[in-house]
Chains A and B, each alone.
Chain A
């Protein structure tokens, strides 16, 4: 498999706090890759660096072979590298369908395309994806009035609407009702297998990530602690210690 995201020796500090130190990792095209680590270990910082949210101190980040560490957030998103937020972000005043429609890919959308109305197939795709995440019944509700978990699902559907090649998910199951988690795992896997979207997932729920991921990276105190397939990681004493030691 080809590498789709290649991070090489990336460091990022906030003032005195070194949040990421010489991190290197690869995400394979078509894979589901996990990123774990105790609270404050630098996972979200890594995602923010990848999507261009802040400048990095040193290192290189490549997406599909192209250096992206100097690009702006919208430019990177238009390349097909998308992220969802740990603190879920949707457009609260819009309803579900409107949220979906405004999330259409802007890669090929010229200014003139923008000055057109949505087509029937856009509405159909929006409905289809809302159905896919189980929000079809709620699609006309003002999305700010949805529950946190439903907003999380909506944000996921919006990301799919954008047709990314690679999707970075920051704790997709946080706040989701445990009985719905299996359904969400299933949808994530189908996004990967049916839509062919590479997934890079930050997750605290070990059951979820061990179930899904092909490969896992584990951070601790801003440094790469371990990497490997789920069973390697599960049996790695350093990982167990990091999690226990963190609490």
Chain B
């Protein structure tokens, strides 16, 4: 029994590594699945664990794309001239410039987005409930509009990044593993963080923020820290996406409030808010559903997706994990009845 967990994780890790080799045709799909898992897990950090439902996390995704692109191009060429000439083809990147640019760009994207979260959070964390959701959504929409009018980063045309320098299939593997490593690091980090005092404190903020304040918890500091960590990872995957997609536009791709911006929330709701595995399972469920409808119900895919959202929100609010918690509380160590009390901490 005690060996079950490490074995499970080891098997999972092996599967993650071999999956793109077993399913070579699905490398891009699997990479996108990781993207969904990561944005769902990060959304749940504030939405599920801390009780702050952000609709603006897509801001970090878009901003991460742009920061990464500007840095990645900037280390080799003048950015304004590059975007003015619509990028790709004319300007050449050596292998070193490509990989160094991608690495620094992705890192810069994460750091920049974390700083943005601190600043935006400082102003928006005084808002509660729907006001916070709408406030953060407003930030993402405004940012999309601003960026699409900013010629330095290519305006409404967006930016074209250099193409992966070697074999294209290898490129798909490269991006799969960039996403997978980010996802595994995030998962391991959250698995640990939710067990620390910090994790308990953000749960306290969710359960009763006034009580948490009255007990002296540094509520604002903890909220900012949580969102900054979340934004770091979203910025990082934004940066990876930028290189993976090669060309991206401000409104359709980067600040895609109605697509990815909403999908991440749906993933979490499907899987179950405020649990470690919920967002992961939800992202898988959602991704499969989406791919199936996109492939087999073309023309009706948005209707099917809309129906899924409505059904989730109306009938299945607590998601799969929430439903399990409710029906099998003992699996989660939750006790309500006052019968036995064996077992230590």
Contacts and interface: CB of A to CB of B under 8 A. Distances in A.
A73 B222 contact: no
B335 interface: yes
Contacts of A102: 197, 200-201, 203-204, 215, 217
B198 interface: yes
Given A115-B193, A116-B197, A141 B338 contact: yes
A101 B193 CA distance: 15
A21 interface: no
A82 B198 CA distance: 21
Interface size band for A: 35 or more
A98 B200 contact: yes
A117 B216 contact: no
B335 A141 contact: yes
B92 interface: no
B216 A142 contact: no
A109 B211 contact: no
A94 B219 CA distance: 18
A123 interface: yes
Contact of B211 (A91, A116, A139): A91
A111 to B, nearest CB: 7
Nearest to A73: B213
B328 interface: no
Given A93-B207, A98-B200, A140-B341, A77 B334 contact: no
A184 to B, nearest CB: 20
A74 B216 contact: yes
A125 interface: no
Contacts of A117: 195-197
Contacts of B336: 141-142, 145
Contacts of A83: 214
Interface string B307-345: 000000000000000000000000001111110010101
Contacts of A97: 345
Contacts of B225: 111
A104 B343 CA distance: 23
A175 interface: no
A148 to B, nearest CB: 15
Nearest to B329: A142
B214 A82 contact: yes
A88 to B, nearest CB: 10
Given A92-B207, A117-B197, A106 B215 contact: yes
Nearest to B210: A89
Chain B, interface size: which category? 20 to 34
Nearest to A116: B196
A162 B215 contact: yes
A113 B208 CA distance: 22
B197 A85 contact: no
B345 to A, nearest CB: 5
B216 to A, nearest CB: 3
Nearest to A120: B345
Interface in A69-116: 72-74, 77-78, 82-83, 85, 89-95, 97-98, 101-107, 109, 111, 113-116
A138 interface: yes
Given A82-B216, A91-B203, A106-B215, A142 B335 contact: yes
B222 A114 contact: yes
B128 interface: no
B72 to A, nearest CB: 31
Nearest to A112: B198
A158 interface: yes
Interface string B135-174: 0000000000000000000000000000000000000000
B213 A114 contact: no
Given A89-B210, A141-B338, A107 B343 contact: no
Nearest to B225: A111
A126 B215 CA distance: 15
Contacts of B217: 74, 102, 106
A153 to B, nearest CB: 14
A91 to B, nearest CB: 4
B208 A89 contact: yes
A57 B213 CA distance: 22
Q: 4 closest A-B pairs (Cβ-Cβ)?
A: A77-B216, A91-B207, A114-B198, A78-B216
10 contacts: A82-B216, A83-B214, A85-B214, A93-B203, A102-B204, A102-B217, A114-B198, A116-B197, A141-B337, A141-B341
Given A74-B218, A85-B211, 15 more contacts: A73-B213, A77-B215, A89-B208, A89-B210, A90-B208, A91-B211, A92-B208, A94-B200, A104-B197, A106-B216, A106-B217, A109-B218, A111-B225, A117-B197, A140-B335
